[in-house]
Structure 1
Amino acid sequence: MLKKLQVLSLLLFCCLVAAHNVQAQSAGRQYSVGFYKPVADTGGYSYHSSLRDYMVQPTFTLPEDSTRKRSWFHRKLFQEHLLEYKGDDYDFYASFLPDFQVGHSNWNSTTWLNTRGVIAGGRIGDKLTFYTEFYENQGKFPKYIDNFGRANRVVPGQGEWKDFSNGKAFDFAYASALINYEASRHFTFQLGYDKNFIGDGYRSMLLSDVPFNYPFLKIIANVGRIQYTTMWAQFIDMKYPKASYDNGYRKKWGVFNYLDWNVSKKLSLGLFGAVIWQDSDSTGKRGFDVSYLNPIIFLRPVEFSVGSADNALMGLNAKYAVTPNSTFYGQFILDEFKLSEMTKGRGWWGNKFGGQVGFRSNNIFDVEKLNVLTEVNAARPFTYSQRTSLNNYGHYNQPLAHPMGANFVEWVSIADYQYRRWFLRGQLMLAKYGLDTANTNFGKDIFKSYETRTLDYDNHIGQGLSTNLLYLQGTIAFLLNPKNNMRLEISVIGRKESNDVWKFNEYIFQVGLRSTFRQLYYDF
């Protein structure tokens, strides 16, 4: 099976190399291999690649037509935001962002998405920038996404839904906002309702942009070769019973510290720490814990000193740029472990950790804007889980790290290529994980209490109902307007999930007029 997938990956890659006349780079926060820079263009030490900056929008290099003056309608449709104002000490822009798709699945026939979105942003003075987005959506999704939504009560990455079209489709809304204030060249403050991502790969085992948006306050300090980030955030737990109708879903807090050190122009190392704690105990009295307010304190001793069962995690991020365009990268996440149990090698359930190794390259084979990425991700059973979902590493019924939770190993490869306004992207993903059967907990679902575990020992990745997943996607698009990412897009998806009990194959074809800036993960 693995040899066949390697052949498929090679054929996909060769097709991308041959397709000189099709492709364009994804825009905004949508993931693109080509949008990543292994090292700073200036060659200095102040550039840090592993903390994704959602305030930065990509710059498209497109041919300019200077021979004639374009009409207002042409400029607004193909070159500019709908509204653009530039003053001496302020800028403002706003655009309408439609995302209309129609497709076909072999399981539920016609699929469709009807999204009306708006985005607005700008600058006030030299230090303050902002943006806000809102999307109103109705959609009928492919069968596997529909199953996920009905089981977890959320559309992946986009929050809770309500019935639409007599229960055949979902109706849901999505909003995000961010205010960025550069107090000085050393300190930046961000107040947002959005997502965050730490890492140099496609996935993150530390903190990813997989789940729905959440409120946060972030402080970023830059001193020489070091960037230090502290973030406080509030998350939603939909699993645990509500404390009361008036208070809505139960909430939990998180504090995150990340120190990124550019050891040299090629090597960078990042140290990660996080603590998740529930908003209140059974008496409803705890709330935000001021013990975690200090932005430069070591989190693990504080977590221990407050005498709580808070969920503390530690991690490492590393990157080595072998050339200005090619990078090896990796991550390690440590949830819990006992050295004595680790050395015995008996598969103790409490040794909870995961990791990532990967390689990416831009302009590979000296073909401009041909970019590739390949990486392997894995997490042992019960990683990210806790005694209760109020303390686990999740938000809105989705993990805060990898979308598959735990008890999995995954190989994903992506290639994209840009030629003028054309875009071509291909993805291959192979995963193995262990599902639960009736009255079992083998550690994949991080929202289950680890106290309900089936095994204390002999735990290993893929235990339970061992399941294989193959995901293939090819996308071709023509960019209409680089400012709002409006494009005509065609995509083909093949998904095969199988184990000893059942098989589920789905093939999806979609076409659309799209202009969303969102990064959404449906490859699970």
Structure 2
Amino acid sequence: MRRSYKFFALMILSIVSLSAYAQSVTQLGTYLKPSEAKLLYTDSVVRHTTLRPYVLNANDSLFLKEDSTTHKTWLGRKLWDEHLLQVRQPDFDLYLDFLPDFQVGRDFNNDRTTWLNTRGFYIGGRIGKQFTFYTSFYENQGVFPLYVDQSTRTTGVIAGQGEVRNYGNGGFDYSYAAGRISYTPSKYFNFDLGYDRNFIGDGYRSLLLSDATAPYPYVKLTATVWKLRYMMMWAQMIDRESPKFDYQNGYRKKWGVFHYLDWNISKKVSVGLFENVIWQDADSLGKRGFDMSYLNPLLFFRPVEFANGSPDKVLVGMTAKYKMLPKFTWYGQFALNEFTAKEFFAGDGYWGNKWGAQIGFRSFDIFKIPNLHFQGEVNIVRPYTYTARKPVVNGVVNPNNGKPTNNYVHFSQSLAHPWGANFEEFLGIVNYSWKRFDFRGQFTYGYYGLDPQGMNYGKNILLPYDTRVSDYGNHIGQGITTNLFYGDLTAAYVLNKKYNLRIETGLTLRSENNSNGNNSTAIINFGLRSSFRNLYYDF
């Protein structure tokens, strides 16, 4: 690991040397409030909206305004208007918040009481005009709906968070930590060192890089010049599927390098280009480590990967956005894992045509009702997309349980869509805010093909594509064709906007049915919540 530390130190020193002049900076995380999304997409300033966390500078004063204080007593200010602890100085800011997530619910269809007991804290601030930082930690115990419980016990990981331990009678105990340091030496560069999640796209989902996984360590450089914003990121992922080498080294690691170029062609049209390589950190015969071939931030990866003997996994893609009306924006994505033109146009279901597509829209203040927002989205991913082959060492298939190490996965969770592959999804999300009341509804319908025991029809991206059932005739929904409906309604009263403290109640309906039967869930939930994370339980 010494080479890894040296690499990160070298990156920090090289970016620090780029300093030109200072300006205020902060970030919006991967979690966007509806009001923040509205400002990003409807403001007259042309913005790069596809990279989250979203880097804010002096031109984004619209986001940096301080909320007014309306309460005179200390208790009133802390409950309604301010951070629990905040210190403001000309060259230094610091704030600290306690983030509870206390929920209790009832799953009537499965005669199951659910609950969540989360105690978290969040510390953030600014040093001078160039550095911002935050760190957060959550300790959790809970009993979850049956479908979440079953998924967690299968993978050993709670969705979007971390590894679990058994707790009490049917519950889990787990923790979550994240943090980042952001340095902006000039209006052209931002340097980000963190242990967190990232997101590329304008949608609710991303087929390129999503925030549906556990956090991971990364180094990221973002450069903004003219109408272009270019992101380069190097990250280290966890491979839980392969056996550990020994106790001291823990889980096996793998590396990911990401390039993304976003171009605002005009005030209405934007396009982006994406590429990624995933490679294993070590094999059973020795350590490969960080590959210096992927260090150059301006190279195209495919020729480099080919020059290395094609041992790694490449994913390319593109994004597009069209602002049709001041408060209505179309967006889309296309992800390409492999492509054979002859087979693609033949339409014979060749397994190697592995791709995903997304189209959606965001609309704000619909029907001229302030703060009534709607988002619609369709996601389609072919079977075997994001998968990799069995690892091979010296011409022999590696005995790591036949599991690939360089698939598009971190901590047993997809780095793209949480459903994996072999699915179609249709979803709609509506938000409405009035004073301190906040209402949200989400409705999702999808169908996918589950993998029967011992067979690989392409949904489970942890499986190697070498074990596919057929070279031809593959189609979305193959395997055990399954239909899923998911509906979620929440109503909340926001106590403190600074750290999203709210009293919330909700109703969740879920129905999954196929030839093996029907699994349904109906839950009513109540809670006191505060969080700035996207946690996805709509699977």
Measure how far apart 1:73 and its partner are.
Answer: 1.1
Partner letter of residue 115 of structure 2?
Answer: W
Preserved contact between residue 42 and residue 327 of structure 2 (Cα < 8 Å): no
Match of 1:440 in 2: 455
Match of 2:432 in 1: 417
Q: 1:40–1:409: structure 2 CA closer, same or farther, 3 Å change rule? A: closer
Preserved contact between residue 330 and residue 357 of structure 1 (Cα < 8 Å): yes
Show structure 2 runs of 5+ residues with no match: 1-27, 391-403
Measure how far apart 1:474 and its partner are.
Answer: 0.3
Q: 1:121–1:65: structure 2 CA closer, same or farther, 3 Å change rule? A: closer
Q: Distance in 2 between matches of 1:498 and 1:190?
A: 44
**Superposed, which structure 2 residues align to 1:312-391 within 5 Å?**
312-388=314-390, 389-391=404-406
Match of 1:76 in 2: 78
Q: Distance in 1 between matches of 2:140 and 2:129?
A: 35
Q: Distance in 1 between matches of 2:538 and 2:528?
A: 21
Measure how far apart 1:38 and its partner are.
Answer: 7.6
Partner letter of residue 237 of structure 1?
Answer: D
Preserved contact between residue 181 and residue 188 of structure 1 (Cα < 8 Å): yes
Give the CA RMSD over aligned residues: 1.9
Match of 1:497 in 2: 512
CA deviation map 1:200-220 (0-9, x unaligned) = 110001100001000000000
**Superposed, which structure 2 residues align to 1:91-110 within 5 Å?**
91-106=93-108, 107-110=110-113
Q: Distance in 2 between matches of 1:390 and 1:49?
A: 32
Preserved contact between residue 328 and residue 361 of structure 2 (Cα < 8 Å): yes
Match of 1:18 in 2: none
CA deviation map 1:404-430 (0-9, x unaligned) = 000000001000001010000001000
Q: Which has the higher contact order (CA 8 A, sep 6+)?
A: 1
Q: Distance in 2 between matches of 1:439 and 1:174?
A: 33
Measure how far apart 1:450 and its partner are.
Answer: 0.4
Q: 1:256–1:108: structure 2 CA closer, same or farther, 3 Å change rule? A: farther
SS at match of 2:51: coil
**Superposed, which structure 2 residues align to 1:138-287 within 5 Å?**
138-166=141-169, 168-287=170-289
Measure how far apart 1:499 and its partner are.
Answer: 0.4
2:48 pairs with 1:51: no
Q: Distance in 1 between matches of 2:260 and 2:205?
A: 17
Preserved contact between residue 358 and residue 380 of structure 2 (Cα < 8 Å): yes
Preserved contact between residue 212 and residue 536 of structure 2 (Cα < 8 Å): yes
Q: Distance in 2 between matches of 1:477 and 1:41?
A: 25
CA deviation map 1:47-78 (0-9, x unaligned) = 20011225669969999675xx5211111111
SS at match of 1:36: helix
Measure how far apart 1:455 and its partner are.
Answer: 1.1
Measure how far apart 1:35 and its partner are.
Answer: 2.9
Q: Distance in 2 between matches of 1:61 and 1:477?
A: 24
Q: Distance in 2 between matches of 1:452 and 1:426?
A: 40
Q: Distance in 2 between matches of 1:321 and 1:54?
A: 19
SS at match of 1:155: coil
Q: Distance in 2 between matches of 1:457 and 1:244?
A: 41
Q: 1:521–1:188: structure 2 CA closer, same or farther, 3 Å change rule? A: same
Match of 1:512 in 2: 527
Q: Distance in 1 between matches of 2:222 and 2:187?
A: 10
Measure how far apart 1:323 and its partner are.
Answer: 1.4
Q: Distance in 1 between matches of 2:430 and 2:470?
A: 40
2:416 pairs with 1:401: yes
Preserved contact between residue 490 and residue 507 of structure 2 (Cα < 8 Å): yes
Measure how far apart 1:43 and its partner are.
Answer: 3.4
Q: Distance in 2 between matches of 1:484 and 1:275?
A: 36
Partner letter of residue 202 of structure 2?
Answer: D
Partner letter of residue 528 of structure 2?
Answer: L
Q: Distance in 1 between matches of 2:72 and 2:235?
A: 46
SS at match of 1:451: helix
Match of 1:24 in 2: none
CA deviation map 1:140-175 (0-9, x unaligned) = 001010011000100100110111114x10000000
Preserved contact between residue 214 and residue 235 of structure 1 (Cα < 8 Å): yes
Partner letter of residue 50 of structure 1?
Answer: T
Preserved contact between residue 33 and residue 415 of structure 1 (Cα < 8 Å): no
Q: Percent identity?
A: 51
Preserved contact between residue 37 and residue 49 of structure 1 (Cα < 8 Å): no
Match of 2:396 in 1: none
Q: Distance in 1 between matches of 2:160 and 2:88?
A: 34
Q: Distance in 2 between matches of 1:507 and 1:61?
A: 41
Q: Distance in 2 between matches of 1:432 and 1:35?
A: 32
Measure how far apart 1:390 and its partner are.
Answer: 0.8
Match of 1:35 in 2: 36
Q: Distance in 2 between matches of 1:150 and 1:37?
A: 38
SS at match of 1:509: strand
Say how many residue pairs are matched.
494
Q: 1:219–1:89: structure 2 CA closer, same or farther, 3 Å change rule? A: same
Measure how far apart 1:256 and its partner are.
Answer: 0.3
2:148 pairs with 1:133: no
Match of 2:502 in 1: 487
Measure how far apart 1:403 and its partner are.
Answer: 0.5
Match of 2:295 in 1: 293
Measure how far apart 1:109 and its partner are.
Answer: 1.7
Preserved contact between residue 135 and residue 180 of structure 2 (Cα < 8 Å): yes
Partner letter of residue 122 of structure 1?
Answer: G
Q: 1:39–1:211: structure 2 CA closer, same or farther, 3 Å change rule? A: closer
Show structure 1 runs of 5+ residues with no match: 1-26
SS at match of 2:219: strand
Preserved contact between residue 69 and residue 81 of structure 2 (Cα < 8 Å): no
Q: 1:273–1:129: structure 2 CA closer, same or farther, 3 Å change rule? A: same
Partner letter of residue 50 of structure 2?
Answer: S
Preserved contact between residue 38 and residue 49 of structure 1 (Cα < 8 Å): no
Give 2:482's match in structure 1, choosing from 467, 472, 475. 467
Q: Distance in 1 between matches of 2:85 and 2:69?
A: 21
Q: TM-score with structure 2 length normalisation?
A: 0.89
CA deviation map 1:95-151 (0-9, x unaligned) = 111110000012152100000000000000001000110000001001010011000
Preserved contact between residue 447 and residue 477 of structure 2 (Cα < 8 Å): yes
